[in-house]
Amino acid sequence: MTQRNVRVFRVETPLKQRACSIMATPNRPLSPHLQVYRLPLTALMSITHRITGVGLTLGALLLTWWVTAAAYGETQYAQVQGLLGTWLGQLVLLGFSFALFYHLCNGLRHIFWDFGRYFELEQVRRTDAAVLVGSVALTVATWVQVVF
Amino acid sequence: MSLRSALGHARGLGAAKEGVHHWWLQRLTAIALIPLTLWLVASIIGLSGTGYEEFLFWFGKPINSTLMILFLGVGFHHAQLGMQVVYEDYISSHGTRTAMTILTKFACYGLATLSIVSILTVAFKG
């Protein structure tokens, strides 16, 4: 296997040696790196938006499965409804609904950001909370409607 | 300070001459999906705990089959746009990235078509 992208530079010139000694100095500020940096809430919410987006794309398969089964007939539809009715099916649907509401609420915030609104740190903290409360509230409200 | 020329700024086009097209479509589909998602959730709540007949009756109404087809078409379009950005950000190999993007786009449009044809089948049954 060839290592095309790896190049080894030898430290030769005094300038390079000085550059290397500066970089090796301890206690210099490090750039944020995933393994050494505790992500703030806003960053966690940003990556959650992506994760829920990918999850919803996979979850769309469920929607296709559901409507396609209905097109094939009553037996197939009952099979899907039966599987979705199991505890595992309900758990998947619970996760799906939360992902949907989270992506919806945070997506709405992204649209406000696109218009240049809510960029101040305090506003971002408040909308962080609003997105979290909103998505949990919508999930709970939906399941209360389904169960009762 | 902006490094863009005044003309480039006014046109909003990049070197590929399509500039913000992907970004714009992602926002356009997102905005459309807000009411469509709320309608879909309400529909699913209404259909939960009911049988096949209710499903046929619900999607037999033109307004519901129309909204469902819009949700599926716009939703899968939004999904493949979003997945493409995720691949572009995290897959460094050009070949793998292109292959995954093509595969996802084909899968999304295939699934969207299958779902839409299914809803039409149901709509004509109900």
ipTM: 0.87
Which of B31, B40, B41 is the best mutation test for A, with the most CBs of A within 10 A?
B41
Burial class (CB in 10 A: 0-12, 13-18, 19+), B17: exposed
Token reading at A14? 């005094």
Average pLDDT, chain A: 87
d(CA B3, CA A74): 62
pLDDT reported for residue A74: 96
Say if the Cβ atoms of A68 and B72 lie within 8 Å.
no
Closest C-alpha among B41, B101, B121, B71 to residue A135: B41
Query: What sections of chain A are H helices per DSSP?
Result: 14-24, 41-72, 74-85, 87-114, 121-147
Tell which B residues from 37 to 56 touch A, by Cβ distance under 8 Å: 37, 41, 45, 48-49, 51-52, 55-56
pLDDT tens, residue by residue, B63-119 = 999 999 999 999 999 999 999 999 999 999 999 999 999 999 999 999 999 999 999
pLDDT tens, residue by residue, B22-75 = 999 999 999 999 999 999 999 999 999 899 999 999 999 999 999 999 999 999
Which of B115, B116, B117, B121 is the best mutation test for A, with the most CBs of A within 10 A?
B115
Closest C-alpha among A57, A131, A69 to residue A101: A131
pLDDT reported for residue A22: 59
Q: B21-125 architecture in CATH?
A: Up-down Bundle (1.20)
pLDDT reported for residue B15: 66
pLDDT reported for residue A92: 97
Residue ranges in chain A whose pLDDT is less than 70: 1-26, 29-30, 32
Residue with tokens 């409360």: A133
CA distances from A115 to A43, A84, A110, A119, B33 (A): 20, 40, 9, 10, 18
pLDDT reported for residue A54: 98
**Residues B111/A102, Cβ–Cβ less than 8 Å:** no
HSE (CB half, 13 Å, CA atoms) of B86?
19
pLDDT reported for residue B102: 98
Domain boundaries, chain B: 21-125
pLDDT tier at B2, thresholds 50, 70, 90 = confident
Q: Domains in chain A, please, with CATH?
A: 34-147 (1.20.1300.10)
